Amino acid sequence: MSGAANALDKSALALDQGALTPYLEMHVPGFAGLSAIEKFKSGQSNPTYLLTAASGRYVLRAKPPGQLLKSAHQVDREFRVMRALAGTAVPVPRMLHLSAEDSPIGRRFYVMEYLDGRIFWDPSLPDASGNDERAAIYDTMNATLAALHDVDIEAVGLGDFGKPGSYFERQFARWTSQYRASETDSIADMDRLIGWLETHMPADDGRVSLVHGDYRLDNMMFAKDAPRVIAVLDWELSTLGHPFADLAYQCMQWRLPHASGFRGLGGVDRAALGLPSEEDYVSAYCRRRGIAGIGNWTFFLAFSFFRLAAICQGVYRRALDGNASNPEKAKTYGQAVKLLAALAVELIDKS
């Protein structure tokens, strides 16, 4: 991508402080004196910004500019689910304001409180104090996932947050469509994976819970002084669905290579670091939720690889189209799609 194109991307993602200040002072309780806007480097889907004001610090998360895929980047869904979870056992930031589509920045956004904590980008946790803390971090992450799936969706007002029917059939149709809409090259492993999932779709077992959709270590924030989750973030893909989808998606990290952009746990001596095995992590989750075990585990894992590959393909396509949140990083996602598809095919062949 040329320097001119990069400048265009940065300009498109910049926020108009002059237009935003009076709007926020009118709509966010207590907000006053916006002095700085800084875009966070992380986040490929919805650009996220740190707002510094006389009244404190805030986080603004917006739709990206440009033409978007249908049903993607629904920041209003993120806002709704986090507001609904306030007061539950699932920690989330306090929601402060959701704009309309015709906002001062030209697209929908929301504002939430800023939390000061730790985000662990490497799942091997080299920044943890030792094996005991590493084990505790994974255990509290497991407990938070179980708590999420135990949320009474009717009681928190999310009974209509998803469509009825088989979650995996709906998700398979959605992400196949999204993948085909953003496809740039023919990938044989991806085509084979899509075919396998279609022919191995399990019958709907009736399990329904709130699912995060992108549940992983770096989408949560931990207290600075303890292995305690203070916020689960990035709820764009949340819906009502099958809880095992979240569990398998996280356990996929055990299989992704550590020496890659995904920074998975593949190739890491997990026992030496105090990290749980995939089997132990799944057993702990089942124990917390009173489940005897999980069948069709290969399907759930293969589906997770497929879905992440489809997401990465969309990010890659946005980079080519010039409206990715982080254009240079986004261009690496094209190779990631091939890696994910290959790992999934290897998994189903072994099964």
At 320, the pLDDT band (50, 70, 90 cuts) reads: confident
Q: What is the DSSP string of 147-215?
A: HHHT--TTTTT-TTSS-SS-HHHHHHHHHHHHHHHH--S--HHHHHHHHHHHHTPPPP----EEE-SS-
Helix (H) / strand (E) element for 88: namely none
pLDDT tens for each residue of 274-306: 999 999 999 999 999 999 999 999 999 999 999
pLDDT of 45: 72
pLDDT of 8: 30
Mean per-residue pLDDT, 256-283: 92
pLDDT of 221: 97
pLDDT tens for each residue of 2-22: 232 233 345 556 888 999 999
pLDDT of 4: 28
List beta partners, residue 229: 222
Angle between helices 243-251 and 297-321 (to 10 degrees): 70
* pLDDT exceeds cutoff 50 at 71: yes
How far apart, in whole angstroms, are the C-alpha atoms of residue 269 and residue 292? 28
Mean pLDDT, all residues of the chain? 90
* pTM recorded for the entire structure: 0.88
3-state secondary structure of 31: coil
At residue 110, φ and ψ (nearest 5 deg) are: -135, 160
236: Cα separation from own chain's centroid: 7
pLDDT tens for each residue of 166-184: 899 999 999 999 999 999 9
pLDDT of 351: 82
Within the chain, strands assigned E span 34-39, 48-53, 56-62, 95-98, 109-113, 209-211, 220-222, 229-232, 239-241
pLDDT tens for each residue of 74-83: 899 999 999 9
pLDDT of 87: 92
Share of the chain above pLDDT 70, in %: 91
pLDDT tens for each residue of 35-65: 999 998 765 578 899 999 999 999 999 988 7
pLDDT of 317: 87
Least confident of 27-36, 253-262, 263-272, 280-289: 253-262
pLDDT of 284: 98
Residues found in the chain = 351
